[in-house]
Amino acid sequence: MSFSTTEPPFRFRAGTRPLLISMPHVGTHVPPALLERLTDKARHVPDTDWHLERLYDFADELGASVLIATHSRYVIDLNRSLDGASLYPGQSVTGLCPIDTFDDTPLYRSRANEPDAAEIAARRNAIWQPYHAKLAEELARLKSTHGTALLWDAHSIRSVLPRFFDGKLPDLNLGTDNGSSCDDALAQRLLDIAREAHGYTAVLNGRFKGGHITRHFGQPSLDIHAVQLEITQCSYMQEHLPFNYLPAVAAGVQPHLRRMLEAALDFVETCRG
């Protein structure tokens, strides 16, 4: 099957400090021809990282650059590698161009509607490649300008998803690929802040250790640090249709997110090698 889209692959705002916030799963756009092939449930794109732009509405005040995906992860998952390698071998995961939802139900109305190799290549060229090229370009600019760079890969997920984990997920899930993508002292400082957040639970390199973006771009030995934060959606929004943002609930967690980003900025601006 063919694939085309009239939407740009991302939106981007350049900042003034060595911080890039990436939001690879906030996109909701599915081209109409592809949308027709999806199940009724999948058309609601329920596995979106909803409202992260609003949750991180302080990003501009911090001087951060912000890179925002436009297309749904159902079109292509920007946090997966092109070779299809599993992020978590032996555990259930979704692929580069998913064919199932987080609830392990089919995305497509029939097997005949699933993308073939040519369509996957077209999606990759139209969306994945430009997003990753922009990530690399902006990190290089920040490193050249400031001598250092911090990539914060922002995610959210439903707090209970039996396919991926047992019970309720901790609220603040920091991932550094087991210490490979950022300095250990920075990771520990972030974990301390997360654990100090009253009413929230936190973990470092638990079920979510950072996806392809964190693992690929984090090079602490070169003063490029990458951290993924996966936050439970119940911490700021309604987890089921209509997926409403809950300002009063979000107001509880936002100060802790800001503290983490401020601490991370302080680290890279004062402790670079």
CATH number at residue 140: 3.40.630.40
Q: Range of 266's domain?
A: 10-270
Confidence check: pLDDT of 77 > 50: yes
Q: How far apart are the first and last CA of the chain?
A: 50
Q: Does 24 fall in a domain? A: yes
| Two tokens, residue 179 | 């210490």
CA 114 to chain centre: 24
Q: Does 1 fall in a domain? A: no
The neighbouring-strand residues paired with 257 are none
Q: Does 231 fall in a domain? A: yes
| Two tokens, residue 209 | 């250790």
As for how many domains the chain has, the answer is 1
The predicted-structure confidence for 2-34, as pLDDT tens digits, reads as follows: 799 999 999 999 999 999 999 999 999 999 999
DSSP state of 225: E
| Residue from 261, 185, 262, 176 nearest 227 by CA | 176
Q: Does 214 fall in a domain? A: yes
Percent of the chain whose pLDDT exceeds 90: 90
The one-letter amino acid code at 60 reads D
3-class secondary-structure state, position 237: strand
The predicted-structure confidence for 91-139, as pLDDT tens digits, reads as follows: 656 789 999 999 999 999 999 999 999 999 999 999 999 999 999 999 9
